[in-house]
Structure 1
Amino acid sequence: MRNGFSFRMHKLALRVTQQVDFTDPDEPCHDVALIIEGEKIYASKQILGSYSTVFKAMFYGDFAEKNKNEIELKDVKKEEFVDLLRVISPSSRRIAFPLISPLLILGDRFDIKYVMDRAESCLITSNRLSDITKLAFSDRYKLSSVKEHCFSKLQTVGDVKSIEESPYFGQLSDEMKAAIREHKARIEG
Structure 2
Amino acid sequence: MNDNPNFVFRWEVDTSTLETGKVESKVFNEGGFKWTASIEKFHLNGQDLGRIVVKCAGNNKGPWKCEADVEMMWHHSIGFIVPYGGKSKSFNEGNSSLEHHSVIWSCLLNPKAYSIDNKAIVEFQIRITNSEGCIPIAEPCKFTAPNHRSDVILKIGEEKLHVSREYLAIHSPVFETLFFGDFTSKDKEEVEINDVVYEEFLDLLNLIYPREAKITDRTVLHILKLADRFEMKNMVKEAEEYLMQSTGFDEMEKLLFSNQYGLAALK
CA distance in 2, matches of 1:76, 1:61: 22
CA offset at residue 31 of structure 1?
0.9
Match of 1:29 among 143, 149, 155: 149
**Residue equivalent to 2:182:** 62
Amino acid at match of 1:45: R
Aligned ranges for residues 142-181 of structure 1 at < 5 Å?
142-147=262-267
How much has 1:64 moved relative to structure 2? 0.9
Distance in 1 (CA, whole Å) between partners of 2:165 and 2:204 is 14
The 3-state SS of whatever aligns with 1:71 is strand
Give CA-to-partner distance per residue, 1:138-176, whole Å, 9 cap, x none: 0000000111xxxxxxxxxxxxxxxxxxxxxxxxxxxxx
User: Alignment length, in residue pairs?
Assistant: 129
Normalized per residue, which structure has more helix?
1
2:169 corresponds in structure 1 to 49
Note the 1:65-144 alignment, pairs <5 A.
65-144=185-264
- Native 8 Å contact 1:138 1:144 kept in 2: yes
Q: Residues 122-141 of structure 1: CA distance to partner in whole angstroms, max 9, x if unpaired?
A: 00111111011111110000
Bigger RCO (CA 8 Å, 6+ sep):
2
List structure 1 segments (4+ residues) > 3 angstroms apart after TM superposition. Answer: none
Superposition deviation, residue 42 in structure 1? 1.1
CA distance in 1 between counterparts of 2:212 and 2:186 reads: 26
Q: Deviations over 1:83-115 (max 9, x none)?
A: 000110012521011101111111111111121
Q: Distance in 2 between matches of 1:93 and 1:30?
A: 20
Matched-pair contact (CA < 8 Å) for 1:84–1:106: yes
CA distance in 2, matches of 1:90, 1:32: 18
How far apart, in 1, do the equivalents of 2:151 and 2:234 lie? 22
| SS of match in other structure, 1:24 | coil
Q: Provide TM-score, normalisation by structure 2.
A: 0.47
**1:20 CA displacement:** 6.4
What is aligned with 1:160? none
SS in 2 for 1:33: strand
Question: What one-letter code is carried by the residue in structure 1 that aligns with 2:226?
Answer: L
Aligned CA-pair RMSD: 1.6
CA distance, structure 2, for counterparts of residue 92 and residue 73 of structure 1:
25
C-alpha change, 1:83 and 1:57, in structure 2 (3 Å) is same
**Residue 23 of structure 1 aligns to which amino acid in structure 2?**
T
More strand per residue: 2
SS in structure 1 opposite 2:225?
helix
